[in-house]
Structures are given as C-alpha cells and as structure tokens.
Amino acid sequence: MNRIGVFGANGRMGLALLEAVSKKDDATLTGAYVRDNSPLLDIAVNQLNSAASADVSFSKETDVKDADVLIDFTLPAGMRNHLKTAVEKNIAMVIGTTGLNQDDLDALHEAAKHIPIVFARNYSVGVNLLLNLVQTAAVKFGDDMDIEIFEAHHRHKIDAPSGTALAIGEAIAEAKGWQHDEVARFDRSNDEHAKSQNEIGYSVMRGGDIVGEHTAYFATSGERLELTHKASSRMTFALGAVRAAGWLKNKPAGLYDMQDVLDLK
C-alpha cells in the first residue's frame, strides 16, 4: 500500500488529489497538509470533499509523517519549503507546481540527488502523448511552417504561459534542434517585421472556469495542422499524479518526469 501525503490539501487541486487517492485501491491517504494558521486544522478532510478519506484530518505542513510519497501542486514559495521537508525526512515527491524560476529548478536537481522526484508541468496522460505528437509534427513538416501555441485557463491561474504550454514549446524546440529561450516569442506588440518561421509564438487566454486547453498550430502554405488537448476536470491531473506516486515508490534518487512514468521515452 502506497502511503501518500498531500500539500496544499485545501486548494482546488489539493481537494482533487484527496479524492484521487481515495479512488485508488493501492494507495492510502496519510496526510492532508495545510498552512500552520489554517482554520481547517483538525477538521476531517471529507467535510470539504465527501469523496475523500474519512479517517484523515487536515494537519500542519510541519507535521509530515508516515508517508511514502508527498504530492505538491502548491505555489513556488510553498514548494520550496515542502521540498526541504521532503529531503530532511527522506520522502519521495511528486511535484506539479508551475511558474518555477531557474533557482527553483536548480533546487529540484539538488534535492533529486537525495530523494526520488517526479516533476511534470502536466500529469494528464493525453498531454504527455501530445508532447510526443508535436515532436513528430515538427520533424515531419520540416522548416516550411509557422508554429504557434495557444493556451486557455480559468481566471485564477497566475503564471502565463502555462507550464504545459511551455512544455509543448520546449518539446518542439528540442525536435527542431533549437534553443527554446532563443526562439520563444511572448509579445509581438513592438515587432516591425513579419513572423519568422524560426520561432514559436505563444498566446494566452484567462477566463471563467476553463480547466485547461492547449493547441499547437503547424501552419504551412495551403494547410494547417492543429493538435489540441482539452481538460474538463482537475481529476484528470490528480489521477495522473497519484499514478506517478505509485510508480515512484522505491525508486532510487533522481529527477523523473511523466514521460518516464508512462514509458514514453
């Protein structure tokens, strides 16, 4: 039985994770962690999500114990502290936090010398298949194409473009032999020249309750290929993260991703 603890357990994604763990026969929820000053402390998790475990109450982030794997989809500032806790207690981590800067990524690599970590910008099986498909398209179309990525999320999402959109762009750049940061275009408001075919453009929408939509466009003269993934429920990502937690148990220290979990490499 895989014992799982969830950070940020009272958030939108946290509540979905609590339910997702309860859906798995080979997993059990041992911790639902919230901030030390949260009014939810000591309240049973099934009072917020009736589908979650009735045997666990919300507890402080500093009270981590009895877990084989910790799952974290919180904000970068929280993730940094949680990562330190996981290393100190020698517990594996599944991390879905987006909006990380280079220092955060460096910290992940350093922590992965001590504990096994799965870090992915998206835990959907469909999105991870999409990452493979866009690489195939990028290679087969050759250089005679324009590449654009569009993403849409709910109005509460802070980082833009989304981590998934960036992952799609990075996958395309890798297939083309480009350095992503050199070819990514996030703002054309001051451009005075036509679009180059040696770049990847990004556009973003924030509105309503959109869970997540991503489209990679490959446009050439006379035709256009659109590869799209649409998520209608956070449970898609939550179940993927719990699947990753099951895969990660007893793995050696190292930094893994969802492509490893799904054996897509």
> Hey, which residues are catalytic here?
153, 157
Quick one: how far is CA 21 from the chain centroid? 17
- Distances from the Cα of 57 to the Cαs of 5, 185, 197, 231, in angstroms? 12, 45, 54, 29
Confirm if 151 and 213 have CB atoms less than 8 A apart.
yes
Q: How far is it, in rounded angstroms, from Cα 202 to Cα 148?
A: 6
Confirm if 231 and 211 have CB atoms less than 8 A apart.
yes
- Distances from the Cα of 3 to the Cαs of 70, 188, 234, 250, in angstroms? 9, 48, 21, 12
Give which of 252, 246, 208 is closest to 94, Cα–Cα: 246
**Pairing relationship of beta strands 146-153 and 116-119 according to DSSP bridges:** unpaired
